[in-house]
Amino acid sequence: MEPGSGSPAGAVVAEIKSRRENQVWYLKISKLALAFAIIHSKPPGKSCKEYTEHLAKTLSEQDFGWKSKAEALEAEVLRLRQELLLNKICPRFYLQNGKPDAPAETLLDQEHINPPSYSSQLEDSGCDVSNDCTFDSLGTAADFPRPEHNVDTSNRWLERVPPLDLCCTSKEESLAAPIQFLQHLLEIRKLSEGGILQADFTELDNDSFTICNSVSRLLDGLTIFYNSPKIPVSNLLSEAVCVLISLITDSKLSNHVLKKCFKKLEEFKKNLIKVILRSSGVNRFQALHTVSHTLGLLARSNVLRNSLISLLLPEVRQFAEQLLEAHQAQAMYDITQYENIFTLCMILEQLLQKDTEDCNVSSSDYEGEEKNRFLKNLDQIILHLSDEFPLFSLYLWRVSVLLNSAQIQMD
């Protein structure tokens, strides 16, 4: 029963209706006035449609110009905040123009990133059948550069954080700035751990925006690279991944990054999974290995590993159900996606194996509803698919065994 017009509620409803009617009327009048203005100011020789499109294009270009200026100003503000935060954490690190106070010999004794070994990974046809490059997402990160010791003390301290090989492309620029800041943050962390510098990392709690925005920009830049039709060969991509992994595995910095950027990291992992599933190039398998290896490196963090398992379980289960439905109906299925799903299966199997070895099952986020949903009637699905799709059925069975063994250990 509607409130009476004399009641307070009725007055409110009447007021809302009146405002909506006024807004609709104002919009119609505005459109009519704009149409008359365009017709009145239309130059001779042009139709109203052509002139309207010209005005819209001019306005969009102006908006784009303002947007570019605003983005440049935001980037400059972030850079200043990054410098300020580094100075607050460790005033000695920068005395002037970003130069540290530590001796060159001491700085050069520390580990640094040396990325060139990564680029060859994406240069071949993707048809390598040798056993030299095995799938080892949770291993030693053999396909990514590892820290090395620089023993040449004749160079300046700037070689401690090597200059970036920048190209004038938006993809490169989107990664360069956050990499430099985060590298310096990791540098201070290493020097403070060795007792060379005094650093106060509680400042990260006082300025969560800067660290969160920097990591977010790093992830956005990586997403641009991985979403490219062909993942480009770039030392910067390798360097960005190394910085990200160093952050999430560092004993002091990982808590700040995971706490403030967990949602962004989840979006990044979801995007990498989509990249794997929708990849369709003929020579895509090396690129798939690169993306899956990045996922495996992210899984070095127990928190990210459990959340990644929770993302992979429904993807594999959903494809199994779709494949069974197509098989029973004698319908066509997507052969490309069928090939790609094995990459997710391999990642999932290795994550579960690692989780079981670490005896981390009691705290796993994928236990319970997610696990039960994956295992529900899985034996029947495997039975129906085993003749036509034996390899995929084998992977499903191995994943189910790992899930059940984890439950047995926990019990």
Are residue 206 and residue 111 in the same domain, yes or no?
yes
In this structure, the answer to whether residues 170 and 289 fall within a common structural domain is yes
- What is this structure's pTM? 0.69
Crossing angle of helices 8-41/48-89, nearest 10°?
120
Instruction: Please give the tally of structural domains in the chain.
Output: 2
Residue 42 lies in a domain: no
64-87, pLDDT tens digit by residue?
667 778 888 888 888 889 888 888
What's the token pair of residue 353? 């194996």
Q: Does residue 307 form part of some domain?
A: no
Whether residues 258 and 215 fall in one domain: yes
384 and 236 share one domain? no
Residues 410 and 382 grouped into a single domain: yes
Last-in-domain residue among 250, 280, 300? 300
Per the domain annotation, does 67 fall within a domain? no
Q: How much is the pLDDT for 138?
A: 52
Same domain membership, residue 354 and residue 296: no
| Token representation of residue 36 | 């008359």
Residues 235 and 370 in one domain: no
Rounded CA separation 194/146 (Å):
20
Report the alpha-carbon distance of residue 256 to residue 204 in Å, rounded.
7
Instruction: Tell me how far apart the alpha carbons of residues 63 and 295 are, in angstroms, rounded to a whole number.
Output: 38
Task: Give the pLDDT confidence of 106-146 residue by residue, as tens digits.
Answer: 333 433 333 334 344 444 444 443 333 334 445 444 444 44
Q: Are residues 247 and 332 in the same domain?
A: no
Do the domain assignments include residue 370? yes
- Look at residues 238, 268, 300 and tell me which one is the last residue of a structural domain: 300
The CA-CA-CA angle for residues 364, 369, 373, to 5°, reads 115
Domain boundary among 247, 277, 300: 300
| 12 domain residue, yes or no | no
β-bridge partners, 149: 111
Residue 127 lies in a domain: no
Asked, for residue 38, whether it belongs to a domain, the answer is no
**Rounded Cα gap, residues 26 and 28, in angstroms:** 5
What are φ and ψ of residue 144, in 5° steps? -115, 155
Nearest to 312, CA basis, from 325, 324, 298, 326 = 298
229 and 335, same structural domain?
A: no
Q: Both 85 and 233 in a single domain?
A: yes
* Whether residue 320 sits in one domain with residue 254: no
Q: Is residue 36 included in any domain, yes or no? A: no
Q: Which of 323, 167, 180 is nearest to 234 (CA)?
A: 167
What's the confidence (pLDDT) of residue 348? 94
What is the domain extent for residue 209?
Answer: 72-120+133-300
Q: Are residues 212 and 317 in the same domain?
A: no
Q: Which of 409, 394, 267, 282 is nearest to 342 (CA)?
A: 394
Tens of pLDDT, residue by residue, the chain (411 residues): 445 555 666 676 777 777 788 888 888 888 888 787 878 787 887 888 888 887 887 777 666 667 778 888 888 888 889 888 888 888 876 543 354 444 333 333 433 333 334 344 444 444 443 333 334 445 444 444 443 433 333 233 333 444 433 343 456 766 888 999 999 999 888 888 888 888 888 888 888 889 999 999 999 999 988 988 777 767 888 889 999 999 999 888 888 888 889 999 999 999 999 999 998 877 888 888 889 999 999 999 888 999 999 999 999 999 999 999 999 999 999 999 999 999 999 999 999 988 777 765 444 455 567 888 899 999 999 999 999 999 999 999 999 999 888 665 555
Tokens of 85: 């935060």
Instruction: Report how far residue 299's alpha carbon sits from residue 268's, in angstroms, rounded to the nearest whole number.
Output: 13
